[in-house]
């Protein structure tokens, strides 16, 4: 497969050839995704780029392209080819150039009121279309935003206008983001950014537009294909949660053990400024919620001295959630980091300047994502464009996560002082709040459903759209927040139950964020869930365990809580409410915000 990508050139011929090779190769390890594209221009030229760039990112994309400029026909009609295709992802590639040509071509003849009205009309059209897609499928929807026009109607003067054409379009993109955000499972695809990166002059091709209703040059088509593939990957696969970095020649230039604290390159002058900039970028990655860890072969004292004493070292010890500095095997270090942070190895990305270490880790721990490291000081672009940390939404919980882990280490210190687990948990003063999933909590709930691996009984990856659909079919959906005397962990648990019959319910999904494991909060969630099922007339609650490579720790979850084996099945247990209700542990304060009664 790699040979195909190595031979790739930026031409349609090369991508078409690669597309054929990929589709005949039938690599079994690729994740299959059905992608439908609707647009106001001929979108089917994007196919080879989407397919090849998808395969490069582990996706086998089966694409459907709607007929040119028939977005309404496709979305409003339930029997359309779009819905028969049964897509996992729907891409809405609409452009202002076709939807409201005057905003792009005759901007100066429009009054302020007309500009607002035209913008509003386009957004309304998209809103209606998106709502139709939302009602008829559970697919994730990606909505193109509006690119800067290829030419400005006012020419040089645009820059001086208060409500310039540029400003109006960028404001429309803000409104577009609000439209997308108001619908579950709808996300903005930043076409404007892709076109700007390619360069406006290079991205548009008037000849192609005139010949084929295709506005974009080959370079832009490739860039759009790449970014779409990255976005689709982020929609269907969870991101890495931890970046483990080497130290010498990665966080600073030179080798601290040989060059000494004053001899390494790190500061405001070249070459040290490249490393200082890179450290700043890693801090920004940490702000997104990615945990940083160290995997370095070094004398621990030498290495830690840089963090403690070097005036230009922006990263400090407390920024790292786990640290492995010794002369042992790096693959083992990564395993230790994953275990300490309660993560699977496939949630860990590894950055190291040494090709030998990278190769070693690739061989010994194929689950770990080994990042490229081109010659010279590291650049953040390589990390960003690897897609390792791509997420379509960054939630408040993501931004707070790194602080949680900092507290976690304080807590484990407390755990070693306390006597029994009960005393320890009592000491923590844990409060659990549970409530019904609504529009405000749905994005975070879907995020947890999409990425929780370990404490996850069924690992059913429902999207936002799918959960909305389940709710409309009578699903009981609960979220759980947890706080203790060290802080608020945010929304960390989800339980979904579906009625099988009027009296028999199945726990479809039951999961807990890994940082909550070991606090008995799951028992509180289970207790409230069973109470809710009972309130809805349920008499028997079935619990399922679907084994995966990651969730062995919850294998005995149901039997350990007094659920009885369900007939002859081995992975299914039941709680008969005639045997009594399920009680939450006394140690926890449980609050249930029940809004379903009003």
Please, which residue, 14 or 379, has the CB nearer to other proteins? 14
CA distance 33 to 60: 6
Please, which residue, 186 or 224, has the CB nearer to other proteins? 224
Say whether 51 sits in a helix, a strand or coil.
helix
Of 1, 5, 12, 549, which one interacts with other proteins (CB under 8 A)? 12
Residue 210, interface with other proteins (CB under 8 A)?
yes
Close Cβ partners of 90 (under 8 Å, ≥ 6 residues apart)? 35, 36, 37, 38, 82, 133, 137, 139, 140, 141, 142
In contact, 584 and 480? CB cutoff 8 Å: no
Residue 69, interface with other proteins (CB under 8 A)?
no
In contact, 482 and 521? CB cutoff 8 Å: yes
Please, which residue, 49 or 510, has the CB nearer to other proteins? 49
Residue 25, interface with other proteins (CB under 8 A)?
no
User: Shortest gap between Cβ of 63 and other proteins (angstroms)?
Assistant: 14
Q: What is the total count of residues that contact other proteins (CB under 8 A)?
A: 19
Where does this chain touch other proteins (CB under 8 A) — which range of 78-86, 205-213, 257-265, 425-433?
A: 205-213
Q: Which of 357, 255, 355, 341 lies closest to 299 in space, CA to CA?
A: 255
The size of the chain, in residues, is 598
Of 138, 208, 448, 478, which one interacts with other proteins (CB under 8 A)? 208
- Residue 324 CB neighbour total at 10 angstroms: 21
Q: For residue 12, what are the CA distances in angstroms to 46, 52, 447?
A: 10, 11, 36
Please, which residue, 10 or 376, has the CB nearer to other proteins? 10
Residue 207, interface with other proteins (CB under 8 A)?
yes
Close Cβ partners of 515 (under 8 Å, ≥ 6 residues apart)? 342, 401, 404, 405, 408, 489, 492
Residue 123, interface with other proteins (CB under 8 A)?
no
In contact, 223 and 271? CB cutoff 8 Å: no
Of 3, 112, 156, 211, which one interacts with other proteins (CB under 8 A)? 211
User: Shortest gap between Cβ of 316 and other proteins (angstroms)?
Assistant: 50
Say whether 479 sits in a helix, a strand or coil.
strand
Residue 26, interface with other proteins (CB under 8 A)?
no
Please, which residue, 51 or 184, has the CB nearer to other proteins? 51
Residue 537, interface with other proteins (CB under 8 A)?
no
Which stretches of 260-299 are DSSP H helices? 272-287
User: Shortest gap between Cβ of 211 and other proteins (angstroms)?
Assistant: 5
Of 30, 200, 218, 261, which one interacts with other proteins (CB under 8 A)? 218
Where does this chain touch other proteins (CB under 8 A) — which range of 4-12, 50-58, 447-455, 540-548?
A: 4-12
Close Cβ partners of 132 (under 8 Å, ≥ 6 residues apart)? 75, 76
User: Shortest gap between Cβ of 22 and other proteins (angstroms)?
Assistant: 13
- Please say whether the dihedral angle defined by the alpha carbons of residues 286, 292, 298 and 300, taken in this order, is positive or negative: positive
Residue 8, interface with other proteins (CB under 8 A)?
no
What are the backbone dihedrals phi and psi of residue 277, each rounded to the nearest 5 degrees, phi first? -60, -45
Where does this chain touch other proteins (CB under 8 A) — which range of 9-17, 181-189, 345-353, 450-458?
A: 9-17
Please, which residue, 7 or 560, has the CB nearer to other proteins? 7
In contact, 258 and 359? CB cutoff 8 Å: no
Residue 260, interface with other proteins (CB under 8 A)?
no
Please, which residue, 16 or 517, has the CB nearer to other proteins? 16
In contact, 540 and 505? CB cutoff 8 Å: yes
- Residue 463 CB neighbour total at 10 angstroms: 21
Please, which residue, 172 or 208, has the CB nearer to other proteins? 208
Residue 45, interface with other proteins (CB under 8 A)?
yes
Residue 70, interface with other proteins (CB under 8 A)?
no
- Residues lying near other proteins in the complex (CB under 8 A): 9-14, 16-17, 20, 42, 44-45, 207-208, 210-212, 214, 218
């Amino acid at each position: 497969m790699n040979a195909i990508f190595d031979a790739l050139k930026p031409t349609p011929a090369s991508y078409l050839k690669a597309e054929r090779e990929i589709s005949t190769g039938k690599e079994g390890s690729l994740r299959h995704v059905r992608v439908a594209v609707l647009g106001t221009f001929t979108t089917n030229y994007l196919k080879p780029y989407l397919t090849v760039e998808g395969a490069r990112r582990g996706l086998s994309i089966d694409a459907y392209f709607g007929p040119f400029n028939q977005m309404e026909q496709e979305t409003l009609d339930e029997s359309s080819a779009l819905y028969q295709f049964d897509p996992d992802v729907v891409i809405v590639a609409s452009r202002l150039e076709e939807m409201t040509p005057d905003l792009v071509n005759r901007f100066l003849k429009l009054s302020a009121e007309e500009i607002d009205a035209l913008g509003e009309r386009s957004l309304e059209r998209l809103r209606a279309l998106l709502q139709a897609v939302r009602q008829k499928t559970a697919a994730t929807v990606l909505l193109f935003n509006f690119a800067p026009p290829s030419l400005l109607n006012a020419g040089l003067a645009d820059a001086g206008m208060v409500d310039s054409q540029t400003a109006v379009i960028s404001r429309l993109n803000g409104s577009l983001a609000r439209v997308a955000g108001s619908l579950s499972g709808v996300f903005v695809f930043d076409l404007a950014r892709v076109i700007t990166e390619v360069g406006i002059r290079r991205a548009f091709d008037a000849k192609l537009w005139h010949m084929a209703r295709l506005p974009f040059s080959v370079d832009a088509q490739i860039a759009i294909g790449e970014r779409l593939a990255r976005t689709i990957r982020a929609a269907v696969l969870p991101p890495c949660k931890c970046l483990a970095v080497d130290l010498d020649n990665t966080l600073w230039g030179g080798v601290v053990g040989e060059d000494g604290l004053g001899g390494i390159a790190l500061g405001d002058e070249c070459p040290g400024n490249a490393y200082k900039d890179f450290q700043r970028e890693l801090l920004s990655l940490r702000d997104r919620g990615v945990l940083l860890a160290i995997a370095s072969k070094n004398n621990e004292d030498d290495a830690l001295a840089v963090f403690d004493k070097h005036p230009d070292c922006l990263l400090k010890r407390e920024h790292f959630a786990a640290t492995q500095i010794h002369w042992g095997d790096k693959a083992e270090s990564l395993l230790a980091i994953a275990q300490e942070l309660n993560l699977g190895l496939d949630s860990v990305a590894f950055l190291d300047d040494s090709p030998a270490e990278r190769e070693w880790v690739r061989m010994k721990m194929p689950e770990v994502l080994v990042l490229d490291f081109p010659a010279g000081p590291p650049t953040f672009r390589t990390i960003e464009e690897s897609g390792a940390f791509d997420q379509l939404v960054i939630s408040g919980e993501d931004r707070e996560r790194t602080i949680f882990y900092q507290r976690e280490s304080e807590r484990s210190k407390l755990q070693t002082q306390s006597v029994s687990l009960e005393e320890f948990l009592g000491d923590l003063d844990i409060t659990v709040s549970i409530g019904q999933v609504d529009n405000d909590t749905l994005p975070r709930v879907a995020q947890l459903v999409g990425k929780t691996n370990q404490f996850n009984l069924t690992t059913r990856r429902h999207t936002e759209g799918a959960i909305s659909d389940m709710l409309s079919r009578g699903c009981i959906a609960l979220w759980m927040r947890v706080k203790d005397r060290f802080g608020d962990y945010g929304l960390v648990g989800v339980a979904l139950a579906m009625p099988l019959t009027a009296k028999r319910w199945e726990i479809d999904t039951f999961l807990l964020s890994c940082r909550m494991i070991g606090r008995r909060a799951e028992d509180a969630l289970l207790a409230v869930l069973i109470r809710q099922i009972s309130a809805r007339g349920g008499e028997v609650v079935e619990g399922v365990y679907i084994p995966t490579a990651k969730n062995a720790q919850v294998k005995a979850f149901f039997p350990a809580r007094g659920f009885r084996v369900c007939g002859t099945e081995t992975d299914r247990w039941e709680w008969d409410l005639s045997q009594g209700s399920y009680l939450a542990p006394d140690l926890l304060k449980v609050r249930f915000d029940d809004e379903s009664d009003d």
